C-alpha cells in the first residue's frame, strides 16, 4: 500500500531515483522531444557575405609629390564606418533592399538600425614589417538571412566605402590647396601694403635714407667748396668794383677840350655883351658859338667813363647773382643737415618694414610651392592615383550559413531535455511525498520496517531492463511495509 507523507527533505537514494526516472520515462521522452524540437526551431540560417578591400599606396613616389593624406588608414576607415552606419545611410540601405521586413513592424526603427549595425563587420588586416604595425587591407561583411540580399548589401556597403574614401581624399587635398591659396592671397595683400608703406617712408624721408646719406655727405662737401669759391669770386668782384669807381672819379675830374672851348666862347660872349648890344652882329655870332660849344660838349661823351660804368654794373649784377646762388647753397646745406638728423629714424622705420617684407616674401614663396604641390596631389586624388581603397575580392555569395550547426543544436537539446525532464520528474515526486522503498520508510519512521510484502504488477520477466534488475532486484515493484 502506498502512503502519502510529507517529508521535510530529500528522501531518495540513487536506486530510488533511477526507479522514479524509469517509471516516469514517458515524461522524460516528452520533455526530451520538446527540447529537441525547440533546439531545432532556434536554428536560423544566417548568411554572411564579405568583400576584401586593399589600401593601395600612391602611384607617384612621395619624393616627387607628397601625399595629402595626414591620417592613418585605421582612422580613415573608422571615420568612413561612422558615416556608413549613420541613421540616414542605414535607413536608405534598409529601404533600398527591403531589409528586416518582419522586424520593422513590431520594433522601433532605432532597434532595427542597431541590429543592422551589429550585422556589419569590419576586420582590419595589418602587417608588422619594418618594425611597425600598419593596416594594409580590411574585410567588409554583412550577415542576413537571405544570401543574395547579404551579397547585394555588401556590394552597396563596398561602394559606399569606396565613394566615401575618394570624397575624403579629394576634399582633404582640395581643402589643403584652397587653404594655401587663401593664405598666399592674404600674404600677397600684406606684401602690397608693405610696399606702399615702404614707398611712403622713402617719400617722407627722401634724402635721409641710408643709401642717400653717404651721397649727401659728398654733396655737402661739394656745396661747401662751391660756397667758398663764390665767396672768393664775390670778394674779387667787390675789389674790382672799388677800382672801377676810383677810375670813374678820375675820369670825371680830368679837364675836357670841349669844356675849355665852351669856357672861352662864354668869356668872349660876356666881353662883347658888356660892350655891344644884344643884336650886335658879333654878339649874336658869339652867342651862337657858345651854343655850338655847349652842344658839342653834351654830344661828346667822356673818354672811358661809360665803359667803366658798364663794367661796374656788370660786376654788381654778378655779385647779386653769386649772392643768390650762395643763399641757395646755404639753404641746401641746411636741408642736408636736417635730412642727416632724420637718417637714424628713417633707417629704423625702413629696416623694420624691409625685414617684415622679407619674412612675408619667404613665407609667400614657400606657400606658393606648397600650394602647387597640394594642387598636384589633389589632381592625383581626383584621378585615383593617390593612396586609395581598391576591391581585391568582390562581395562573395554565401552558400553555407553561419552559427552553430545542427549536430551542436541536437546535442544541446538532448542534454537540456534530459536535465529538464529529470528535474520535473524528481520535483513532482518530491511534491507528492511518495514512499518508494524501505530505505525511505526507514528514514521517515526512524527504524527499520519489520517486513516488506511486495506487490508485483510486472508481467512475466519483470519490468525494466536487465541492468536495472541487476542493480535492484525489487526494481519496478511496489510493496507494503509493516
Mean pLDDT, the chain, rounded, equals 75
Residues 231 and 338 in one domain: yes
Residues 119 and 80 in one domain: yes
Residues 200-219 have pLDDT tens digits of 887 887 766 766 666 666 67
3-class state of residue 2 by DSSP: coil
Residues 345 and 424 in one domain: no
* 20 located within any domain: yes
**Rounded Cα–Cα distance for residues 243 and 226 (Å):** 26
* 171 located within any domain: yes
* 5 located within any domain: no
**Average pLDDT of the residues in 454-471:** 50
Q: Pick 102 or 436 by higher pLDDT.
A: 102
Residues 175 and 237 in one domain: no
- Contacts for 80 with CB less than 8 Å, ≥ 6 apart: 160, 161, 164, 165, 168
What's the CATH code of the domain at 134? 3.30.1890
Going by pLDDT thresholds of 50, 70 and 90, the confidence category of residue 142 is very high
Residues 322 and 240 in one domain: yes
Q: What are 56-63's contacts with CB under 8 Å, separation 24+? A: 56/387, 56/388, 56/389, 56/390, 57/387, 58/380, 58/385, 58/386, 58/387, 59/380, 59/385, 59/386, 60/380, 60/385, 60/386
Which of 83, 49, 142, 143 has its CA nearest to residue 393? 49
- pLDDT greater than 50 at residue 1: no
Going by pLDDT thresholds of 50, 70 and 90, the confidence category of residue 155 is very high
Alpha-carbon separation of residue 124 from 8, 13, 25, 414, 476 (angstroms): 61, 58, 53, 39, 64
Check residue 215 and give its pLDDT.
63
Residues 116 and 216 in one domain: no
* 445 located within any domain: no
Residues 126 and 165 in one domain: yes
Residues 253 and 373 in one domain: no
Residues 226 and 334 in one domain: yes
Residues 30 and 77 in one domain: no
**Rounded Cα–Cα distance for residues 390 and 382 (Å):** 15
Residues 176 and 269 in one domain: no
Range of the domain at 413: 14-42+404-436
Residues 220-231 have pLDDT tens digits of 778 788 888 888
**Residue burial 428-462, b: 16+ Cβ < 10 Å; e: rest:** ebbeeebbbbeebbebbeeeeeeeeeeeeeeeeeb
Check residue 93 and give its pLDDT.
92
* 461 located within any domain: no
130-139, 384-393, 453-462: lowest mean pLDDT where?
Answer: 453-462
Q: What one-character DSSP code corresponds to residue 394? A: P
The DSSP code sequence of 252-281 is HHS--HHHHHHHHHHHHHHHHHHHS-TTSH
- pLDDT greater than 80 at residue 324: yes
Number of neighbours of residue 186 by Cβ within 10 angstroms: 13
Number of neighbours of residue 77 by Cβ within 10 angstroms: 22
**Average pLDDT of the residues in 353-366:** 89
> Whose grid coordinates read 604641390?
373
Domain count, the chain: 3
Check residue 76 and give its pLDDT.
82
* 472 located within any domain: no
* 477 located within any domain: no
Is residue 139 within 8 Å of 125, Cβ to Cβ?
yes
* 65 located within any domain: yes
**Average pLDDT of the residues in 448-472:** 54
Residues 82 and 216 in one domain: no
**Average pLDDT of the residues in 350-370:** 87
Residues 247-285 have pLDDT tens digits of 667 666 655 566 667 677 777 778 777 777 777 777 777
Alpha-carbon separation of residue 187 from 179, 180, 194, 199 (angstroms): 12, 10, 10, 18
Is residue 360 within 8 Å of 193, Cβ to Cβ?
no
Going by pLDDT thresholds of 50, 70 and 90, the confidence category of residue 234 is confident
Amino acid at each position: 500500500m502506498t502512503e502519502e507523507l510529507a517529508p521535510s527533505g530529500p528522501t531518495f537514494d540513487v536506486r530510488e531515483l533511477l526507479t522514479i526516472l524509469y517509471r516516469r520515462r514517458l515524461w522524460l521522452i516528452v520533455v526530451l522531444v520538446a527540447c529537441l524540437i525547440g533546439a531545432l526551431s532556434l536554428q536560423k540560417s544566417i548568411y554572411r557575405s564579405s568583400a576584401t578591400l586593399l589600401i593601395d599606396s600612391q602611384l607617384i613616389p612621395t619624393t616627387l609629390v607628397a601625399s595629402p593624406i595626414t591620417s592613418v588608414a585605421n582612422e580613415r576607415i573608422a571615420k568612413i564606418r561612422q558615416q556608413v552606419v549613420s541613421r540616414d545611410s542605414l535607413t536608405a540601405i534598409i529601404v533600398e533592399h527591403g531589409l528586416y521586413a518582419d522586424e520593422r513592424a513590431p520594433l522601433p526603427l532605432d532597434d532595427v538600425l542597431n541590429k543592422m549595425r551589429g550585422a556589419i563587420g569590419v576586420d582590419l588586416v595589418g602587417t608588422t614589417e619594418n618594425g611597425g604595425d600598419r593596416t594594409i587591407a580590411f574585410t567588409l561583411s554583412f550577415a542576413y538571412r537571405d544570401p543574395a540580399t547579404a551579397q547585394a548589401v555588401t556590394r552597396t556597403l563596398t561602394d559606399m566605402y569606396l565613394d566615401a574614401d575618394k570624397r575624403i581624399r579629394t576634399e582633404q587635398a582640395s581643402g589643403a590647396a584652397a587653404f594655401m591659396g587663401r593664405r598666399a592671397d592674404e600674404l600677397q595683400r600684406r606684401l602690397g601694403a608693405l610696399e606702399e608703406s615702404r614707398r611712403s617712408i622713402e617719400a617722407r624721408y627722401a634724402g635721409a635714407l641710408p643709401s642717400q646719406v653717404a651721397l649727401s655727405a659728398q654733396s655737402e662737401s661739394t656745396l661747401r667748396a662751391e660756397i667758398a669759391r663764390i665767396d672768393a669770386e664775390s670778394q674779387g668782384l667787390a675789389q674790382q668794383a672799388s677800382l672801377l669807381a676810383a677810375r670813374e672819379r678820375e675820369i670825371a675830374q680830368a679837364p675836357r677840350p670841349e669844356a675849355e672851348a665852351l669856357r672861352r666862347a662864354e668869356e668872349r660872349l660876356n666881353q662883347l655883351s658888356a660892350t655891344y648890344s644884344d643884336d650886335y652882329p658879333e654878339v649874336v655870332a658869339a652867342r651862337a658859338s657858345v651854343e655850338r660849344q655847349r652842344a658839342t660838349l653834351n654830344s661828346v661823351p667822356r673818354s672811358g667813363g661809360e665803359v667803366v660804368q658798364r663794367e661796374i654794373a656788370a660786376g654788381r649784377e654778378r655779385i647779386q647773382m653769386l649772392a643768390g646762388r650762395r643763399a641757395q647753397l646755404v639753404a641746401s646745406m641746411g636741408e642736408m643737415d636736417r635730412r642727416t638728423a632724420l637718417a637714424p629714424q628713417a633707417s629704423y622705420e625702413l629696416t623694420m618694414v624691409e625685414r617684415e617684407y622679407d619674412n612675408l616674401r619667404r613665407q609667400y614663396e614657400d606657400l606658393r610651392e606648397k600650394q602647387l604641390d597640394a594642387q598636384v596631389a589633389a589632381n592625383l586624388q581626383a584621378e585615383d592615383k593617390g593612396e586609395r581603397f581598391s576591391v581585391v575580392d568582390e562581395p562573395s555569395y554565401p552558400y553555407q550559413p553561419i552559427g552553430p550547426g545542427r549536430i551542436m543544436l541536437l546535442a544541446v537539446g538532448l542534454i537540456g531535455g534530459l536535465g529538464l525532464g529529470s528535474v520535473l520528474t524528481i520535483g513532482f515526486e518530491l511534491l507528492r511525498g511518495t514512499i518508494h522503498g524501505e530505505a525511505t520508510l526507514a528514514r521517515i519512521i526512524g527504524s527499520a520496517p519489520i517486513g516488506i510484502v511486495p506487490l508485483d504488477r510486472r508481467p512475466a520477466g519483470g519490468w525494466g531492463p536487465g541492468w536495472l534488475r541487476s542493480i535492484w532486484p525489487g526494481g519496478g515493484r511496489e510493496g507494503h511495509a509493516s
